[in-house]
């Protein structure tokens, strides 16, 4: 079910050549790894991989040098949930491919098939330092024009790198997304309890399918509540190859997730998690990570009535693994730095905050061995910042994805530059 693709096979440019050798010199390098922060350090990149990091790095002849003196160097940002490359304009249905509806595919709905690496949202995100993203399907409200409604199970999530024309997928089908709490109630007949029962029935069916797969494939009649594609997807959840990512906020619902994870032996991930701090001890004991929506950190509805601004600090103190991310921020994935900065203002250390938007989301997704920190052997997803990346007005000077310096251009910058041109005596639409 889950496929990890090693970067040594991904780092060819469109013309078939390897990425060039690069040295980022004299920067303050936040490795977000075992070496911590290194002053006046050099990061050597060869063939798309980080090969050396330190203060006494020999730079081979012919290496392109980027001077980072007085600047900050970090791993690329990792947006762990959302629909980058799956949506263009929220109000235009034809440009949105992340929403699951219908009964043919629920757990088995694979949004990776619709990913568009040339989406304008990709370029907008990466020039602000987002080099990797989780693609997570979602439930929609009501029914569409064909009368199809969303399911408690939204489908399979994947991880992409936001570089050029190389294969973007770092992982496919690494999670199955489920909806609990208010979002689950909305697609399960108006009750949280119904959402739990729908999920349990699906997991029980998948367990039966695993035990009787041969009979099922021979055509023996079995009245399963989900399709064969969904049975296969949930089989991966039950055997541990695939994690289950729960959209859930209320503490009592999170406790229900912990119980289901223990009962079925599945790897659970919490997204949203506004009230996760209230059950932080349970989450730590169960080794269940949280992808915290750091923007919705105040009470906004009955699902997150106990939300608080220092929840990240409380999770950290309890030993819970956590990252920052919010599916509703697809068009503003860069705001994970704001979530991290707000958390620092409310008790979290700066090192923990930076890890929560780089290394930790990679680890939660199961790709931490190939990305997420500046360490030899890992993919060269690196960002150079002129100042603290957690400051609201800090924007990257340079972004490298797979060792390639990406053009710092997006549709937004092109429009900005066009309409900032001095008056040429003609309306903007007619200017060249």
CA distance 245 to 156: 10
> How many CB atoms are closer than 10 A to CB 116?
16
CA distance 135 to 175: 10
Contact call for residues 235 and 206 (beta carbons, < 8 A): yes
Contact call for residues 107 and 54 (beta carbons, < 8 A): no
CA distance 78 to 128: 11
Element (H, E) at 133: strand 130-135
Domain ranges of the chain: 3-7+77-371
As beta bridge partners, residue 132 has 78, 161
CA distance 305 to 296: 11
Angle between helices 192-211 and 251-264 (to 10 degrees): 10
CA distance 155 to 114: 13
What pLDDT shows up at residue 307?
94
Q: CA separation (Å) from 266 to 200, 260, 323, 341?
A: 12, 8, 20, 32
CA distance 356 to 374: 15
What pLDDT shows up at residue 254?
98
What pLDDT shows up at residue 5?
36
Structure-token pair, residue 387: 């100042």
CA distance 332 to 316: 25
What pLDDT shows up at residue 22?
96
pLDDT along the chain (432 residues), means of 10: 38 43 97 97 97 95 96 98 92 84 91 95 96 94 74 96 86 96 90 95 94 78 85 96 97 98 98 97 98 88 93 98 90 93 96 98 98 97 97 95 95 86 64 58
Phi, psi of 27 (to 5 degrees): -95, 165
What pLDDT shows up at residue 133?
97
What pLDDT shows up at residue 17?
40
What is the reported pTM? 0.92
What pLDDT shows up at residue 416?
86
What pLDDT shows up at residue 431?
59
What pLDDT shows up at residue 422?
64
What's the burial of 383, exposed, middle or buried (CB within 10 Å: 0-12/13-18/19+)?
Answer: buried
What's the burial of 148, exposed, middle or buried (CB within 10 Å: 0-12/13-18/19+)?
Answer: middle
DSSP secondary-structure letter at 75?
Answer: E
What CATH architecture is 3-7+77-371? Alpha-Beta Barrel (3.20)
The per-residue DSSP string of 158-182 comes to: EEEE--SSS--EEEEEEEEEEE-HH
Q: How many C-alpha atoms does 355 have within 13 Å on its Cβ side?
A: 18
CA distance 257 to 273: 12
């Amino acid at each position: 079910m889950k496929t990890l693709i090693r970067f040594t096979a991904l780092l060819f440019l469109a013309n078939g050549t390897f990425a060039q050798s690069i040295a980022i010199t004299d920067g303050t390098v936040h490795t977000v790894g075992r070496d911590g922060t290194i002053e006046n350090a050099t990061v050597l990149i060869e063939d798309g991989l980080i090969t050396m990091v330190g203060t006494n790095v020999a730079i081979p002849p012919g290496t392109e040098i980027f001077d980072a003196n007085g600047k900050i160097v970090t791993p690329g940002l990792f947006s762990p949930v959302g629909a980058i490359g799956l949506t263009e304009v929220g109000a235009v249905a034809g440009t949105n491919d992340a929403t699951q509806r219908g009964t043919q595919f629920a757990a088995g709905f694979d949004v990776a098939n619709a990913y568009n690496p040339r989406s304008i949202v990709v370029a907008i995100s990466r020039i602000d330092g987002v080099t990797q993203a989780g693609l997570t399907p979602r439930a929609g409200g009501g029914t569409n024009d064909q009368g199809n409604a969303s399911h408690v199970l939204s489908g399979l999530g994947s991880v992409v790198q936001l570089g050029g024309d190389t294969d973007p997928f770092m992982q496919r089908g690494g999670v199955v997304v489920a909806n609990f709490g208010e979002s689950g109630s909305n697609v399960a007949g108006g009750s949280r309890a119904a959402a739990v029962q729908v999920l349990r029935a699906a997991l029980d069916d998948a367990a039966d399918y695993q035990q009787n797969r041969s009979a099922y494939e021979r055509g023996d009649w079995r009245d399963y509540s989900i399709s064969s594609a969904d049975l296969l997807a949930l089989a991966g959840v039950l055997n541990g190859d695939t994690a289950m990512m729960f959209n859930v906020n209320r503490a009592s619902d999170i406790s229900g997730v912990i119980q289901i994870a223990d009962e079925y032996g599945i790897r659970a991930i919490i997204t949203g998690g506004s009230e996760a701090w209230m059950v932080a001890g349970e989450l730590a004991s169960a080794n269940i990570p949280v992808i915290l929506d750091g923007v919705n950190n105040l009470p906004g509805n009955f699902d997150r009535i106990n939300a608080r601004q220092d929840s990240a600090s409380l999770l950290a103190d309890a030993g819970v693994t956590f990252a920052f991310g919010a599916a509703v921020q697809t068009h503003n994935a860069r705001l994970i730095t704001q979530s991290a900065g707000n958390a620092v203002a409310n008790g979290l250390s700066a090192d923990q905050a930076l890890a929560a938007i780089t290394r930790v989301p990679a680890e939660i997704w199961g790709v931490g061995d190939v990305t997420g920190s500046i360490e030899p052997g890992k993919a060269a997803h690196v960002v150079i910042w002129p100042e603290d990346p957690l400051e609201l007005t800090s924007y990257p000077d340079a972004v490298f994805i797979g060792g390639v310096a990406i053009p710092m251009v997006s549709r937004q910058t092109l429009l900005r530059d066009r309409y900032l041109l001095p008056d040429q005596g003609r309306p903007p639409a007619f200017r060249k």
